[in-house]
Amino acid sequence: MRSSGASGAKSSTVGRVINVSTSLTRHTSPATSVYFASKAAVEALSRTLAAELGPRGIRANSIAPGPTATDFNGGAMRDDAEMRHGLARQTELGRVGEPEEIGDAIATLASEGLRWVTAQRLEVSGGALL
């Protein structure tokens, strides 16, 4: 058991590690095996870092974006209306995400409001492929 100091005292974290994974670690898609495996390793790294760095007040988590309109894959999710429509039908919110929404989730995960959160994977996918 690790001690947090004085009983009942709030302690601030001194650092944060936020690794970027993908929603593909929860579901599959053809021709993504190497990408999937590398991102699953990122999630395992995040959990291991949480155990190693936690005693020093450093939180480690991963964020797993779903289909997002970025330049990933040549900008297809951003620029190809047919692809966007098809992916939007696979999300509970009926659309692909915007880069700012992923940034907002990262900022929230890094905030002091979530100072008790470590070793977690936060999926930001609009409910993709539930």
Catalytic (active-site) positions: 35
Task: Output the CA–CA distances (angstroms, integers) from residue 94 to 5, 42, 82, in the order listed.
Answer: 47, 28, 14
Cα–Cα distance between 71 and 40 in angstroms, integer? 22
Burial label, 110 (beta-carbon count in 10 A; 0-12, 13-18, 19+): middle
